[in-house]
Amino acid sequence: MSKLTRRSFVKLAGGAAAVGLAAGGAPAIANSHKHHVIVIGGGYGGAIAAKYIRMADSSIMVTLIEQNQYYYSCPLSNWVVAGFRNLNVQKWGYDGLKGHGVNVVHEKATKIDPVSKTVTIASGKTFKYNRLVVSPGISFRGIEGYDESATHMMPHAWKAGPQTTQLAKQLKAMKNGDPFIMVAPPNPFRCPPGPYERASLVAHYLKKHKPKSKVLILDPKDKFSKFGLFTGGWKKLYGYGTDNSMIEWVPGGEGGKVTRVDAKSMKVYTDLDEFSSSCINVIPAQKANMIAESAGLTDDSGWCPVNLETFESKLHAGVYVIGDASAANGLPKSGYAANSEGKVCAAAVVASLRGKPVPTPSYVNTCYSMISPDYGISVAAVYKFDPAKPEKVHSVSGGLSPSDAPDFIRKQEAMYNESWYQSIMSDTFG
Amino acid sequence: MQRRKIHMLVLASGFLAGGMMFGSSNAEAGATAEMLANTCAGCHGTNGQSGGPAMPTISGMPAEYMNSIMAAFKSGERPSTIMGRIAKGYDAKETALIAKFFAKQAWKSAESAPQSKNRTLINPKLASTGGKLVKKAKCGKCHEDDGMTQDEDTPRMAGQWVDYLLFKMQDLKNEHLAIPQPKKMAKRINKLSAFELEAIAHFYASKK
């Protein structure tokens, strides 16, 4: 005992803590709870699934595994990039979920074994589950030259938090006259209107603070979400289409696809051209988060095929995938869709544990984007599942804001955007 | 009649195919009230208790009132930015289930909502000014008990968000929107200034 070094003592203590966790966790499953559901990922999808399972049946033990102590919301983080919102307004903790009786474990899930029905976390502890909900978000596919260190020079800011702050800082420090270069991602990706909202809000910032600068979007696509509404707003506010436009959009068909970046020289390359600036935002192509891939939940597309009636994986029984990682055909990769998927999945999980038939799902998406702080636009839809056409959910109503809406309606939608955010966050973390 | 039969046959076979693939399905039963209502919670908060100051709390709203509002959103009789697009997604039976679900939820005042980070707080001085204005404008003739009362054609206002109350009164005054409202109410609202509407919003929000 006297030979114990400080380091080995810490190791032992750590081990004891892990055992303590096991004592507080695993045996409790057997004793007082009939079933154990593990949720991996505490964002728009996972937090909702955890909460709504507990709301539907408090006899189910729910453990949420989320590596971060705090969650930073991507929706509305473009406001932070453009400098008119504090990142703290985007920050949420897990006390609300604990209040619903969810066990929150702040560690990284490192391994999912769908055969033995276990999840292992970074400290080595293994949890057994009856049902597993995976809501891990996205990982990036490579662009040549965009490695880990390049993400600090050319932030993606496509996962909110330090990346958001980093891009905001670079925008602020950018010389008046330099372009804000955005490398837009190919489909499918998280938040389809997101890059174009960001371009709008950055243009709003530039108009005020760096009028000699402009936004240059290099895009592999030839069209994007809310296309008419965005370009209509850009014409109205930023001179889009004129020689003095604050926003220039280069579509794929006109050589907009970026094939390589060089963070050291702050340059991005297309097939024919190169562009450089002190502020470059690279949003790479995306796929389901690595944890889903290593668990064998993804197919060749890189996303997770699911039964859209339940969100149960088509590849592994008892595992459900929701949010951006799932291939939820018909639904966008949005925060509200993740919220809706989380609730459909929660009801399906509860029904399956009780041996009841699959509940008929109902889904909604509501998504606002800002073209300026006073100019909001939206898309909304109600979706149904048709067992005769199970490969896609279909919308039964919805659509975009009218293209000819008066200014006061745009202002109202901007206001509703903020309230949308506060409400969905209270639904998620409250 | 025949067409309907064929349609039903198609549905039934579709259901069988779905059932074979995914285990027992319940699609023919339709979504439950809870399933449908939970889709509203992203904007109107869990069980209808809104966390966003421009979105109304709808927990405890009388079913008749919600049914008539949803029908008005659906037909376009009541203008909206987004609710018209959403209301069209539910048939009358589904809307009735949603309305029934929220009617059963307990009302909680907006101020007790889980930590909303960006809202107008109630200003007691403005609220007291608002109280006098409400008396003068005779709002209490319909909105009885300081806006606490709600029935099939009167929404609850007591304890609602300040911001929502103000925005809605501004909308009622906005002639471009032409929101359906009782003649007497339109007349009274039109006479009130922007400041007076604000005070009235604070008054009703302050009542629990």
The label of the residue with tokens 């206001």 reads A415
Q: Cβ of B75 under 8 Å from any chain A Cβ?
A: no
- Residue A76 CA to residue A85 CA, distance in Å, equals 9
Residue A93 belongs to some domain of the structure: no
Q: Mark yes or no for CB contact B82/A336 under 8 Å.
A: no
**A306 within 8 A of A297, measured Cβ to Cβ:** no
Residue A80 belongs to some domain of the structure: no
**A83 within 8 A of A172, measured Cβ to Cβ:** yes
Domain range for A237 is 150-282
The CATH topology of domain B2-108 is Cytochrome Bc1 Complex; Chain D, domain 2 (1.10.760)
- Residue A290 CA to residue A292 CA, distance in Å, equals 5
Residue A94 belongs to some domain of the structure: no
pLDDT tens track for B145-188: 999 999 988 999 999 999 999 999 999 999 888 999 999 999 99
Whether A223 and A244 share a structural domain: yes
Per-residue pLDDT of chain B (208 residues), as tens digits, is 333 333 333 333 333 333 333 445 555 679 999 999 999 999 999 999 999 999 999 999 999 999 999 999 999 999 999 999 999 999 999 999 999 999 999 998 887 776 666 788 999 999 999 999 999 999 999 999 999 999 988 999 999 999 999 999 999 999 888 999 999 999 999 999 999 999 999 999 999 8
Residue A413 belongs to some domain of the structure: yes
Whether A277 and A298 share a structural domain: no
Peptide bond into A251 cis (omega under 30): no
Whether A241 and A359 share a structural domain: no
Chain A residues close to B43, C-beta within 8 Å = 366, 419-420, 423-424
- Residue B80 CA to residue A339 CA, distance in Å, equals 23
Whether A165 and A222 share a structural domain: yes
Any residues with CB less than 8 A from the CB of A147 and at least 6 apart, and which? Answer: none
How many CB atoms are located within 10 Å of the residue B191 CB?
Answer: 11
**DSSP secondary structure string, A343-355?**
HHHHHHHHHHHTT
Final residue belonging to a domain, choices A218, A251, A282: A282
What pLDDT does residue B27 have? Answer: 53
**B2-108 against B120-206: fold identical:** yes
Whether A278 and A377 share a structural domain: no
What pLDDT does residue A30 have? Answer: 43
pLDDT tens track for A198-247: 999 999 999 999 999 999 999 999 999 999 999 999 999 999 999 999 99
Q: Cβ of B52 under 8 Å from any chain A Cβ?
A: yes
Total tally of structural domains belonging to chain A: 2
Residue A73 belongs to some domain of the structure: no
- Residue A345 CA to residue A359 CA, distance in Å, equals 10
- Residue B118 CA to residue A89 CA, distance in Å, equals 8
The label of the residue with tokens 């959103």 reads B73
Any residues with CB less than 8 A from the CB of B34 and at least 6 apart, and which? Answer: A347, B101
- Residue B29 CA to residue B24 CA, distance in Å, equals 12
Angle subtended at Cα A299 by Cα A294 and Cα A301, rounded to the nearest 5 degrees: 115
Any residues with CB less than 8 A from the CB of B21 and at least 6 apart, and which? Answer: A307, A390
- Residue A324 CA to residue A297 CA, distance in Å, equals 13
Map residue A334 onto helix, strand or coil: coil
**A380 within 8 A of A399, measured Cβ to Cβ:** yes
Based on the number of CB atoms within 10 Å of its own CB, is A236 exposed (0-12), middle (13-18) or buried (19 or more)?
middle
Residue A112 belongs to some domain of the structure: yes
Whether A134 and A162 share a structural domain: no
CA quadruple B43, B45, B48, B51: dihedral, nearest 10: -100
Taking CB atoms and an 8 Å cut-off, how many pairs form between chains A and B?
A: 183
Q: Cβ of B44 under 8 Å from any chain A Cβ?
A: yes
Whether A324 and A387 share a structural domain: yes
Whether A121 and A20 share a structural domain: yes
pLDDT < 50 positions in chain A: 1-31
What pLDDT does residue A220 have? Answer: 98
Final residue belonging to a domain, choices A237, A257, A282: A282
Tokens standing for residue A113? 């074994």
The label of the residue with tokens 């549905």 reads B11
Q: Mark yes or no for CB contact B46/A430 under 8 Å.
A: yes
Angle subtended at Cα B98 by Cα B94 and Cα B104, rounded to the nearest 5 degrees: 145
Residue A297 belongs to some domain of the structure: yes
Angle subtended at Cα B130 by Cα B124 and Cα B131, rounded to the nearest 5 degrees: 90
How is chain B split into domains, by residue range?
2-108, 120-206
Q: Which amino acid is located at A191 in the chain?
A: C
Helix axes B162-173, B194-206, angle to 10 degrees: 140
Q: Mark yes or no for CB contact B22/A89 under 8 Å.
A: no
What pLDDT does residue B112 have? Answer: 76
Map residue A286 onto helix, strand or coil: strand
Q: Mark yes or no for CB contact A426/B31 under 8 Å.
A: no
What pLDDT does residue B119 have? Answer: 83
Whether A166 and A272 share a structural domain: yes
In the beta sheet, which residues pair with residue A61? A36
Tokens standing for residue A291? 């944890």
Evaluate whether the domain defined by B120-206 bears CATH number 1.10.760.10.
yes
Q: ipTM of the assembly?
A: 0.90
Provide the total of helices (H) and of strands (E) in chain A, helices listed first.
11, 25
Final residue belonging to a domain, choices A261, A282, A303: A282
Tokens standing for residue A4? 């114990």
Torsion sign (Cα): A71, A76, A79, A85? negative
Provide the total of helices (H) and of strands (E) in chain B, helices listed first.
11, 0
Distance from CA of B103 to the nearest CA of A (A): 18
Any residues with CB less than 8 A from the CB of B74 and at least 6 apart, and which? Answer: B84, B87, B88
Chain A residues close to B85, C-beta within 8 Å = 380-381, 397-399
Which CATH number fits the domain that encloses residue A248? Answer: 3.50.50.60
- Residue A48 CA to residue A427 CA, distance in Å, equals 7
Q: Mark yes or no for CB contact B54/A388 under 8 Å.
A: no
Q: Edge-to-edge, what's the strand order for the sheet holding A394-400? A: A363-372, A375-384, A394-400
Whether A322 and A272 share a structural domain: no
Q: Mark yes or no for CB contact A423/B85 under 8 Å.
A: no
Q: Mark yes or no for CB contact A362/B46 under 8 Å.
A: no
In the beta sheet, which residues pair with residue A286? A140
Q: Mark yes or no for CB contact A378/B81 under 8 Å.
A: yes
**DSSP secondary structure string, B63-117?**
HHHHHHHHHHHHHTSS--SSHHHHHTTS-HHHHHHHHHHHHHSPP--GGGSS--S
Residue B132 C-alpha from the chain's centroid: 27
**A337 within 8 A of A382, measured Cβ to Cβ:** no
Chain B residues close to A51, C-beta within 8 Å = 46
Angle subtended at Cα B20 by Cα B15 and Cα B24, rounded to the nearest 5 degrees: 75
